[in-house]
Chains A and B, each alone.
Chain A
Amino acid sequence: MSKFRKNKKGLPAISTASLPDIVFMLLFFFMVSTTMRETDLLIKKPSLPTANEVKKLEQKSLVSTIYIGKAKDSKQGAGDKIQLNDKLSTVKDVRAFIYSERAKHNEDEVPYMTVSIKADINSYVGTVTDIKVELREINALKVSYSSKKGNIKDNF
């Protein structure tokens, strides 16, 4: 009996001095492995198509993203909407968007710039084609159809 009593008396508190270190380690991990979110989506988050032949896009700074999907705000009307930067746009604005993206980079980087099309699986090919026609007009030829890795059967 006396043994137990002795133990209870001298139980030291667990040192939490290393807790900040652990949290900082986590913090640095997240700072390094993630990227800042640049745009707020005005369309419903597109559910990307699945594919198994996907390639990773290198050099995020050279990628411009075009979103296609249904508008979040029902006042904007139904049908496919295109989002460039922070606002909903029409196909006609694609050119200006690409020009402004190009202006941010050196001239020698321009041929490596890629347009990533993030379209919802239920949007229409016609919308995507209209964008492709515009891109072709201004010689932005590298395109990536953004998709996640998975079974292609999920696209139907």
Chain B
Amino acid sequence: MARRETPEINAGSMADIAFLLLIFFLVTTTMDVDSGIARKLPEKPPPGYKPPILKEKNVFEVNINRNNQFLVEGEYLNIDQIKETAKKFINNGGGTDEEGNECTWCTGEKDPRSSDHPSKAIISIQSDRATNYGPFIAVQNELEAAYTELRDELGLKLYGKTYTALVKDLLNDKKNEDLKKKIEDIKNKYPQIISEAEPTQ
């Protein structure tokens, strides 16, 4: 018996089906990449822990009040001034670290009234409970920027490449021990010590 040829299946509606799927995915998925300012909270102190006594000159105090104004080391500052002031404070290097070594990489003014050493320089952020979140993040960002800029400068001086560039290189080449060591070195020279004190009522 002669077989009848099967007619070709109409594929015209294929596009419609695919479009339907496409629209479904467009609606149910999001494309945003979550990004933000990374912070590490301090560990909970053991009971009976006494906080160490710090010299006032080693603490850089940033206060934010409920009108979103900034008081930095007893002075009203604008948001764009915070970064420079913080950099000056961290980079001062007026004294020695715990082991009595001087900060040889600091390019600051060596003012005896400002911080002794980057490893001793502490930034304390104190905010009111009623402060808005936006200005709070702005301050966090400026302080982060101060550290990044100092690290960048040091990276350029020591290794001929900014810290940011080194970190980016490491992402492409995760097993490069040499690169890791360089980054650790810069990090240790400008350690980020930011304390977020409990807000005032």
A interface residues with partner B (beta carbon < 8 Å): 16-17, 19-20, 23-24, 26-27, 30-31, 33-37, 49, 51-57, 60, 63, 65, 68, 114, 116-117, 119-126, 128-129, 132-133, 135-137, 139-149, 152-156
Contact = CB atoms under 8 A, between A and B. Distances in A.
B54 interface: no
Contacts, number: 177
A132 B41 contact: yes
A77 B160 CA distance: 56
Contact of A33 (B11, B31, B130, B131): B31
Contacts of A129: 127, 129, 196, 198-199
A12 to B, nearest CB: 17
A20 B14 contact: yes
Given A54-B36, A148-B35, A152-B141, A123 B133 contact: yes
A125 B133 contact: yes
Q: What's the dominant secondary structure at chain B's contact region? A: mixed
Contacts of A155: 134-135, 137-138
Interface residues of B, number: 51
Interface in B22-59: 22, 25-26, 28-31, 33-44
Contact of B36 (A19, A124, A146): A146
B140 interface: yes
Given A19-B15, A124-B132, A141-B40, 19 more contacts: A23-B22, A27-B22, A30-B22, A34-B31, A35-B31, A53-B145, A57-B33, A68-B133, A124-B130, A125-B133, A126-B130, A128-B133, A129-B127, A140-B41, A142-B41, A146-B35, A147-B141, A149-B35, A156-B79
Contact of B199 (A19, A125, A140): A125
B141 A132 contact: no
B140 A145 contact: yes
Interface of B: 11-12, 14-15, 17-19, 21-22, 25-26, 28-31, 33-44, 64, 68, 79, 127-138, 140-142, 144-145, 148, 196, 198-199
A49 B138 contact: yes
